[in-house]
């Protein structure tokens, strides 16, 4: 899938939440191990983030990986090799990002993985892990987030940007360091 087609397809894909799938952690491990084998000594760490990383939480069936590297220059240098190894991205979108690079993996016309490459230990790394860990630690927070996601999926079924933006306040409330 080409650069523009990939991003267009991702933005316009239906917001379809699914019940938690116990295979998601295994899909994370398989992709993490594949990336570590393809790019030895590049990633400091790769973590499972997003809703698929929270047992019991409804999610879009896309496994999110947070890959930590030493610098944003390193992250940007991975664009071509990642695209040659099964990922797609939007060069135009990534050019607007200063704190991360974003990639998608596709199978059968649907995204299967998102890869977020950030500086290991930096603010973006910390926020993602703090949010995931807060949801994992509190069934009450996870249930509140699930209810919000369900409401927003109904309200924005074909607008991924609006769906994601509408979750921002909740996400920030759990992931901003005090």
- pLDDT confidence tier of residue 7, bands split at 50, 70 and 90: low
Q: Give strand pairing partners of 49.
A: 64
The answer to the question of residue 109 being in a domain is yes
Residue 128 has pLDDT above 50, yes or no: yes
- Model pLDDT for residues 64-121, shown as the tens digit of each residue: 999 999 999 999 999 999 999 999 998 888 999 999 999 999 988 888 999 999 999 9
- Alpha carbon distance 51, 20 (integer Å): 9
In the chain, count H helices and then E strands.
9, 5
Distance of CA 17 to the CA centre of its chain: 15
pTM: 0.91
Q: What is residue 61's DSSP assignment?
A: S
Residue 166 has pLDDT above 50, yes or no: yes
- pLDDT confidence tier of residue 150, bands split at 50, 70 and 90: very high
Number of domain units in the chain: 1
- pLDDT confidence tier of residue 15, bands split at 50, 70 and 90: confident
- The parent domain of residue 61 ranges over 3-173
The answer to the question of residue 99 being in a domain is yes
The answer to the question of residue 92 being in a domain is yes
The answer to the question of residue 62 being in a domain is yes
β-bridge pairing 101-107 and 45-49: unpaired
Q: What is the CATH number of the domain that holds 84?
A: 3.30.460.10
The answer to the question of residue 178 being in a domain is no
The confidence score (pLDDT) of residue 108 equals 84
Q: What is the mean pLDDT of residues 129-156?
A: 96
Residue 19 has pLDDT above 80, yes or no: yes
For tokens 């909740």, name the residue.
170
β-bridge pairing 63-69 and 110-119: parallel
The answer to the question of residue 19 being in a domain is yes
- Alpha carbon distance 64, 24 (integer Å): 10
């Amino acid at each position: 899938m080409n650069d523009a087609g990939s991003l267009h397809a991702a933005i316009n894909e239906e917001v379809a939440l699914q019940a938690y799938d116990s295979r998601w952690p295994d899909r994370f491990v398989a992709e993490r191990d594949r990336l570590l084998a393809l790019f030895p000594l590049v990633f400091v760490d790769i973590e499972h983030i997003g809703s698929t990383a929270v047992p019991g939480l409804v999610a879009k069936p896309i496994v999110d990986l947070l890959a930590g590297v030493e610098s944003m220059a390193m992250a940007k240098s991975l664009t071509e090799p990642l695209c040659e190894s099964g990922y797609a991205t939007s060069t135009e979108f990534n050019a607007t990002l200063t704190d991360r690079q974003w990639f998608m993996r596709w199978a059968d016309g649907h995204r299967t993985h998102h890869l977020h490459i950030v500086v290991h230990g930096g603010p973006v790394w910390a926020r993602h892990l703090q949010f995931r860990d807060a949801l994992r630690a509190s069934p009450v927070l996870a249930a509140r987030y699930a209810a919000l996601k369900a409401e927003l999926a109904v309200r924005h079924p074909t607008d991924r940007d609006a769906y994601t933006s509408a979750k921002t306040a909740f996400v920030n409330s759990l992931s901003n360091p005090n």
